[in-house]
Structures are given as structure tokens and as C-alpha cells.
Amino acid sequence: MMAALAGAEQQVLQQVNLHRRAEALGELVWNEAAAQEARQHCERLLKGKARDAHSGFRQRAARLRRVTGARTAGENVFLMENGGGSCMARQRRPPPRHRGAL
């Protein structure tokens, strides 16, 4: 199961980077600390322990800044309810106020 999850995570990163290249943005690199933070947040969401998709973002971002030395942090959360087929969230160019964080 974990191998399948890791494969899916890498596929998402590859797709995001394909889009970023098409938009002339720099590629993202894998960060295991960020991945673990995301996995834990996803688990809380699935168990109904988070008020909404961005609950606790400031705390997650602060932890990641301490661990990684990053100056900024952001998150994109894609939720799909009621199962369904495979989906890929289409990313859009961020508004100007967010571009400096990319």
C-alpha cells in the first residue's frame, strides 16, 4: 500500500511540474518533511478531525519553515467526495500576490 501511495505522490509531483514548466515556472522538488505533513493532514481530514481543508495551515507552515528553513509556505488541497473515477486537479496561474511564493 505504501509503495502505491508513494508512486501516486510522485505522479502528482510530475504532473504539477509538467504544468509549471508549461507556465514558465520553476519545478518543485520532493521534500519528505512536507510530504509527511501532508499525509498527516489528509488523515485528519478523512477522519473528520479538521474543520476544513485548510484548518491548521499556519501551524503546519510554521513547522515546515522550522524543519526546512523555507521562508514561505502554501498549500493546495484537493478533495473528492463520493469516490468516483480518477481526477487531476487543474492548476491555474496564481494571482500576482501569490507568485512570489512559488
**Does the pLDDT of residue 23 top 70, yes or no?**
yes
pTM of the model: 0.65
Residue position matching grid coordinates 469516490: 83
pLDDT digits (tens, 9 = 90+) for 32-81: 998 898 888 888 888 888 888 888 899 999 999 999 898 888 887 776 66
Residue position matching grid coordinates 504539477: 16
pLDDT score at 89: 41
Angle between helices 57-68 and 32-46 (to 10 degrees): 160
Q: How many domains does the chain have?
A: 1
**Does the pLDDT of residue 82 top 70, yes or no?**
no
Structural domain that includes position 37: 2-99
Separation in Å, CA 99 to CA 42, 55, 72, 80: 25, 22, 11, 26
